[in-house]
A = this chain, B = another copy of it.
Amino acid sequence: MTEFDFKTLKADGKAAAVVNHVAHEEMVAALFEKAGVPNRQDARAVAKTLVLADLRGMDTHGTWNLVKSYTGGLMRGDINPRPNFKVVHETPSTATVDGDRGLGILAGRFAMSLAMEKAAKVGTGSVAVLNSKHFAMCQAYPLMAIDHDMTGMSVTSNGIAMVPTNARDAWTGTNPIAFAAPADKEPPFVLDMATTVTAAGKIGIAKQWGVSVPDGWFAPPDQSASPLHAGLSRQPPVGSTREMGSHKGWGLAVMVDILAGVLSANGVPGMLPPNAPSGHYFQAMRIDGFRPAADFKRYMDEMLRNIRSLAPAKGHDRVLYAGLLEWESEQKRRREGIPLPPWTVEYFRTACAELGVRCAF
C-alpha cells in the first residue's frame, strides 16, 4: 500500500458537479429549514460550517457526508430541531452548557461564543457541553477564535471506533483535537486531528471512491472479539503499536473523554449506549493576556515561514504545517467552486426534489 495517495480521496478532477460555495450554502440552509430548523439564521450557520469544511478540503466533515445524516436525524427526531441551550454551571472563566440534543454545530457555536466572551472579560474561557450531537469539523470552533486575536481549542468524544492499546474491543471514539492560532500575513496554524491513526470518515469516503487504504488504518482483527463489537470499525490509536507509541494516542483519547465527557457530565462513549448524546469541550484564550497580539502574530509569521522553507527529505516536495493545505484548498475552492462526487450530486438532487428546494447544480 505504499502507493496510497491522500489526494485520491478528493473529488478534484473527477467531480460530477462543481458548485459555487455561496449557492451551495443557500441550498444547504434551505434543506435544513425544510428538515425542521425553525429559523433561517440557525439554518445558515449550520450550512456555513459544513460548506467551510468543503472549502477547506475536509471532505469527510462537509456537506458530502453530513447533510444527509443531520437532516435525517432532525426528521427522525434523533436531533432536537428546537434546542434550548442552557448554561447549567458557571464561573467567570468556565461554563457547562446543556445542548438539549440539538444540532452539535449550533451547540458548538453557542459554547465557543460563550468561551470567547469569557476570554474577552477575564483572559480565557473554557466551556464544556453535554447532551449534544455530532458537531461536524472540529476546527470550525477554534477558527471562530483566531479572527479575534485568540487561540482556540475544541475536542469531542462521540461513537465507538478506537481499540485501546492492549485491548481486544473498541471502546471510545476517534476523539479529535483541534487547536488554532492566528498569524499576521501567513495562513494560520490549524491542527485538527483524530486521535486514531485516521478519521473514521476517511475510511468511508475511500470506500465510496473505491480507493483501498493502508492496512494499518485498522486494528488487527481479533478472533475473540466480542460479537457486540463485531460490526464496528476498529481503529488503532495514533502511534499504531505500543512500541511505536500507540499508548500516546490512547492517552490523548482518554484526555478528550475527560474534557468532553466527564467535565461536562455527558458521560463517555465506552460507557454509553450507541447513539447516546455527545459531549464537547471548547477553550479560547486572549493572546494579549500573555503578550501584545501584534508581536505574537509577527513571530507566528516568522515561524510558519521558517517551517515552510525547511529543506524537504529526499522524495518530498516541501515541509507543511497544520492548516496550510486546508488554507490552500479554501483559496482554490472559493475561486473555482467545490467539486462534488457523483453520489453527493445524486443525493442533493433527490433531497431537493423531495423537500421542494431549488438545487444549486
Contact = CB atoms under 8 A, between A and B. Distances in A.
Given A254-B307, A303-B268, A166 B319 contact: yes
27 contacts: A1-B243, A92-B92, A92-B123, A93-B93, A94-B123, A94-B286, A96-B291, A124-B126, A151-B259, A164-B319, A167-B313, A168-B311, A179-B255, A181-B262, A191-B251, A197-B239, A197-B244, A197-B245, A220-B313, A238-B238, A239-B239, A240-B244, A257-B303, A262-B299, A264-B290, A267-B299, A271-B306
Contact of A243 (B214, B220, B254, B287): B214
Contacts of A252: 191, 193
A270 interface: yes
A-B CB proximity, top 5 nearest = A91-B123, A94-B289, A94-B123, A93-B123, A251-B322
Interface in A159-174: 163-169, 171
Interface in A166-221: 166-169, 171, 179, 181, 189, 191, 193, 195, 197-198, 214, 216, 220
Interface residues of A, number: 91
Interface in A255-293: 255, 257-259, 262-265, 267-268, 270-271, 285-287, 289-291
Given A243-B4, A271-B303, A191 B310 contact: no
Interface in A39-98: 89-96
Given A189-B258, A262-B296, 10 more contacts: A167-B316, A168-B312, A168-B314, A220-B313, A222-B314, A223-B314, A239-B245, A258-B300, A263-B291, A268-B303
B128 A290 contact: yes
B320 A289 contact: no
A126 B285 contact: yes
Nearest to A239: B238
Contacts of A93: 92-93, 122-124, 289
Given A166-B316, A244-B197, A311-B167, A265 B124 contact: no
A328 interface: no
A104 interface: no
Nearest to A216: B244
Contacts of A195: 248
Contacts of A320: 165-166, 247
A361 interface: no
A265 B240 contact: no
Contacts of A166: 312-313, 316-320
Given A94-B285, A169-B310, A290 B247 contact: no
A295 B270 CA distance: 18
A321 interface: yes
A91 to B, nearest CB: 3
A248 B238 contact: yes
A291 B265 CA distance: 7
A321 B271 CA distance: 16
Nearest to A259: B151
B198 A245 contact: yes
Given A258-B181, A302-B271, A94 B290 contact: yes
A191 B94 contact: no
